[in-house]
Amino acid sequence: MVGTPGVNGTRRGVICDWGGVLTPPLLEGIRAWLRADGIDIDHYYEVTRPYFDGSLNGDNPVHALERGEIDTREFERELAALLRSTHGGPVVAEGLIDRMFHGFDPVHDMYETLHQARAGGAGTALLSNSWGNCYPREHFDRTFDTVVISGEVGMRKPEPRIYLHTCEQMGLSPEDCVFIDDLEHNVRTAEELGMTGILHTDVAATKAELERFLTPDGAPPAPGQKVA
């Protein structure tokens, strides 16, 4: 991959999500944790649905956790109290989030795709909503120029300000950036801000779309245009 000048004569930027893009799909990882911890899977989705379907908009503990507004251990205790085990005992709260993300191993092909983009001259950034979990930061120095973690900056996706903050940290305009995420609503906000959006489904498809964005031989997509 070769970085090409953006619409304002600057280099192009690649902004990438972590969970579900640089790791296996979120659903796989969450289900593996639920099975390992002996947690009733159907009950988990029943009690956590309000956190993710928008019905807790003004007072959502997940959103507060992602912004770093509440203590991680407090959240673990609250979540563990809601869950139901398959063995009849309590769900252990301590270390719950670390266990939840334990199986989120790096997708090395996706990291290599970003390495190639960076080596070709593109700016690279991680933009991730955090649950206070540990990230594989040993991979980050070689991969990213900029790392933006929601709980460290007090903002979360899909709030427009965190996308703009990331662009500012990279020294690029949204129109010169592509945003990669596995959640459609996060990609939609990026596009509304003028970025090119890539909805990640697998490494091969994302790599092909990213090459189109960075290719020196073809005309770059129009600002805000989703790469087809």
**Domain-embedded: residue 76:** yes
CA distance 221 to 35: 43
Shared domain for 197 and 119, answered yes or no, is yes
Mark which of 84, 100, 116 sits at the end of a domain: 100
Beta-sheet strands, E only, within 58-152: 123-128, 146-149
Within 13 Å and on the Cβ side, how many CA atoms surround 77?
5
pLDDT tens digit at each of 228 positions of the chain: 444 454 445 689 999 999 999 999 999 999 999 999 999 999 999 988 888 776 666 678 899 999 999 999 999 999 999 999 998 889 999 999 999 999 899 999 999 999 999 999 999 999 999 998 889 899 999 999 999 999 999 999 999 999 999 999 999 999 999 999 999 999 999 999 999 999 999 999 999 999 999 985 544 444 444 554
Shared domain for 193 and 155, answered yes or no, is yes
Within 13 Å and on the Cβ side, how many CA atoms surround 17?
28
Number of domains in the chain: 2
Shared domain for 18 and 33, answered yes or no, is no
Determine if the peptide bond prior to 221 is cis (ω within 30°): no
Shared domain for 45 and 129, answered yes or no, is no
| Domain span at 47 | 26-100
Mark which of 82, 100, 118 sits at the end of a domain: 100
The pLDDT of residue 121 is 94
Instruction: Using alpha carbons, list the distances in angstroms from residue 220 to 13, 97, 98, 118, 169.
Output: 13, 40, 41, 18, 23
Q: Considering the entire predicted model, what is its pTM?
A: 0.88
